[in-house]
Structure 1
């Protein structure tokens, strides 16, 4: 794992651990999640780390510092994926973290603090609809109502824990104390086109967008497509279509971004007027106030649409995460490392995508390194990185980790 070719080969190997024969899908607490943890644990062990899986299903490796039981700088990312995923989102960050520790081991080097590598089990929220489950357990922000969340097959989160050999009643043991952690650093593909547009391999993350998600259901009245005149229809899909366009317009006007990525229509027959439509909503902005004003405007607009079309609306908030600023001192560590390796002044940029660093920020200071991805494409099989960029990322991440360990306020 100490060079780019090994890291890319590891990403390829993990890509074969998928629930589907085509594309990649690796969801939380599934057998392939277990297999991925086991393989990553083996690599952690080979890099000189003591390994364990916590009560939330996150995989950990610890490389001791100059003194045993010293607080740790945590580095890593996540192993779960969206459906039909690429092979680098999250996974590359885990492999780079292991690569840094392997380099420390090979040189016999110990740092003022321990280095802990974490492979979070759920960042994407693909299976249970709520994101950052793994990192929020570590940060101590786990919500008891999550146990009732269900996956598409009707299995609830509590049942999934038990099926995976985890004990729901021990979830609090996954929580780390702030006194144990000096900071969190995460390397991640950009998932956007800015670095490629600037012809840069690496960038420094300044902050992560605040996001809110909801599940919205509009209910009208199903009816025969041939016998119900327009003035007597209560077509839920027409209302939902108008709602989607209103959401787009309101987000554009406010400076936020909003996406309707899922829509389910019932009864779902070619000759039946849609009686119910359920759809997702994802709203993000650099500032929480902008995001929340946009959501409020969307609610007001959808209520007007429902009144005009004689529909009812059910709104369920499914996720909320505040915008998170990366700590100045960790930004500086990453920035100096990028400048040293890349030879250009480091580009600082904002992340519109969510990351585990958002959850970890409630526990400790966080920082992030971005790596260029081809075309800015992510959450797609065409996700790609360049080997020379990965080599530069490994060099920069190692430098940033060493610098952060030295600046963490612990005796050398």
Structure 2
């Protein structure tokens, strides 16, 4: 089927209005946009997403893990589907565009196909994945893990800082955690997966490039370090006799930074949160906890950095007489995008006249998990100043429009291609 790809340009007023409406669902007690998984603003926003999908003719359903799944029937009916989507939860004090752009542009693509009189050969599935962002349970990408069969019973037993189990939090949100462990899709269900996302970094804007063709998604290793020292009077305990857990945690923060600065290729390390007890200026800290993460598209560096970090922290805590417990919370290796899908994205960018470049993704995405089911690719559009996960996150309307156009056009082209898995 020959189609002028200009016919698939989005209705940018409709798309922009949808972004504004969805962004209105947030916790106003925080700066920026906060719509954390299982929160009331998140619950309300998902009702809005389901209504938006229904109005677009996608007949949405909510699966046991809370994914909102919309389907537009193709000519062949059933069989492997084209899948697109992203997420609508945010980090605390996050931005307006992370995830949202991909979900709403997927819905917009479905609308434009229908408005243009195009019936794809494959079914088109648009998904708003539940809980993509990191959270207090230490398990991100909950919905896409369920769909790909990597959500495990041990994940449901993880607890947040209130002691609530993840499985209980899911049940309280109206989901079925046990069924979420059993609902994995088959690889035969997916023709290809394509996700549009804001870059969340500075490369495209600095290069003056309109479209990023993602080459790989960084692996992420998150770690919880627990330090056990000894309490004592802050005024009477000699410095040489102290076993201060908070000081050991502070040394570990610097170790995290050192490891990240030593990466030979794209690799970063970030200390994310630190807690201490009893939390009094007059008492030496006897317990502290530090959460940190390592990221890279280089698998060998990532695995080596894990050991390097542990070795440095073990040595520093032992020198202070502080005990250490190390718990790795996630272990997601780097995931390459399918070469065949990268090629189609680049070809489509050329056909639409957009400038493009190959870029890695330092952020994690649901796409990394969907790659288990079929050929996966991602399209990036520029982020102003590379800012993301903060209230200053911004992507220009013109860039969103180009991204949505690229998403619909690439989906159309992928629909025509056989042999993506063997390419």
**TM-score normalized by the length of structure 2:** 0.93
For residues 192-226 of structure 1, the C-alpha deviation after alignment (integer angstroms, 9 at most, x for no partner) is 00001011222100001111001001121122111
Secondary structure, counterpart of 1:379 in structure 2: coil
Secondary structure, counterpart of 2:119 in structure 1: coil
Q: How far apart, in 1, do the equivalents of 2:98 and 2:179 lie?
A: 29
For residues 42-62 of structure 1, the C-alpha deviation after alignment (integer angstroms, 9 at most, x for no partner) is 111222212101110000110
Query: Which residue of 284, 301, 311 corresponds with 1:300?
Result: 311
Q: How far apart, in 2, do the equivalents of 1:340 and 1:315 lie?
A: 51
Shift of 1:337: 2.0
Shift of 1:27: 2.3
1:60 matches 2:60: no
Q: How far apart, in 1, do the equivalents of 2:137 and 2:254 lie?
A: 27
Shift of 1:342: 4.2
Distance 1:138 1:95, change over 3 A: same
Shift of 1:409: 4.8
1:109 matches 2:118: yes
Question: Counterpart of 1:161?
Answer: 170
Task: Decide whether the 8 Å contact of 2:272 with 2:290 is kept in 1.
Answer: yes
Secondary structure, counterpart of 1:347 in structure 2: strand
Shift of 1:169: 2.5
Question: Counterpart of 1:337?
Answer: 348
Question: Counterpart of 1:371?
Answer: 381
For residues 242-266 of structure 1, the C-alpha deviation after alignment (integer angstroms, 9 at most, x for no partner) is 2222222223223331110101111
1:171 matches 2:180: yes
Question: Counterpart of 2:135?
Answer: 126
Task: Decide whether the 8 Å contact of 1:75 with 1:186 is kept in 2.
Answer: yes
Query: Which residue of 313, 317, 323 corresponds with 1:312?
Result: 323
1:252 matches 2:281: no
Task: Decide whether the 8 Å contact of 2:230 with 2:244 is kept in 1.
Answer: yes
For residues 241-293 of structure 1, the C-alpha deviation after alignment (integer angstroms, 9 at most, x for no partner) is 22222222223223331110101111111222222210111001122211010
Question: Counterpart of 2:232?
Answer: 223
For residues 321-348 of structure 1, the C-alpha deviation after alignment (integer angstroms, 9 at most, x for no partner) is 010000011111111222233443x200
Question: Counterpart of 2:191?
Answer: 182
Shift of 1:39: 1.1
Q: How far apart, in 2, do the equivalents of 1:196 and 1:124 lie?
A: 24
Shift of 1:41: 1.4
Which 10-residue stretch deviates more, 148-157 or 46-55?
148-157
Q: How far apart, in 2, do the equivalents of 1:399 and 1:340 lie?
A: 9
Which 10-residue stretch deviates more, 117-126 or 162-171?
162-171
Shift of 1:156: 1.4
Distance 1:341 1:193, change over 3 A: same
**TM-score normalized by the length of structure 1:** 0.95
1:96 matches 2:120: no
Distance 1:201 1:5, change over 3 A: farther
Question: Counterpart of 1:12?
Answer: 20
Question: Counterpart of 2:289?
Answer: 278
Distance 1:294 1:52, change over 3 A: same
RMSD: 1.6
For residues 139-180 of structure 1, the C-alpha deviation after alignment (integer angstroms, 9 at most, x for no partner) is 111111111122333321221222122222321453211111
What is the total number of aligned residue pairs between the two structures?
409
Question: Counterpart of 2:151?
Answer: 142
Q: How far apart, in 1, do the equivalents of 2:34 and 2:136 lie?
A: 10
Q: How far apart, in 1, do the equivalents of 2:52 and 2:34 lie?
A: 21
1:351 matches 2:357: no
Query: Which residue of 247, 265, 275 corresponds with 1:264?
Result: 275
Shift of 1:298: 0.9
Q: How far apart, in 2, do the equivalents of 1:302 and 1:351 lie?
A: 28
Query: Which residue of 294, 300, 303 corresponds with 1:289?
Result: 300
Question: Counterpart of 2:333?
Answer: 322
Task: Decide whether the 8 Å contact of 2:149 with 2:182 is kept in 1.
Answer: no
Q: How far apart, in 2, do the equivalents of 1:71 and 1:250 lie?
A: 43
Shift of 1:127: 4.3
Q: How far apart, in 2, do the equivalents of 1:343 and 1:254 lie?
A: 33
Shift of 1:392: 1.1
Question: Counterpart of 2:412?
Answer: 402
Secondary structure, counterpart of 1:188 in structure 2: strand
Question: Counterpart of 2:5?
Answer: none
Task: Decide whether the 8 Å contact of 1:33 with 1:121 is kept in 2.
Answer: no
Q: How far apart, in 2, do the equivalents of 1:5 and 1:153 lie?
A: 43
Shift of 1:32: 2.7
Distance 1:115 1:217, change over 3 A: same
Q: How far apart, in 2, do the equivalents of 1:340 and 1:74 lie?
A: 22
Query: Which residue of 79, 83, 86 corresponds with 1:77?
Result: 86
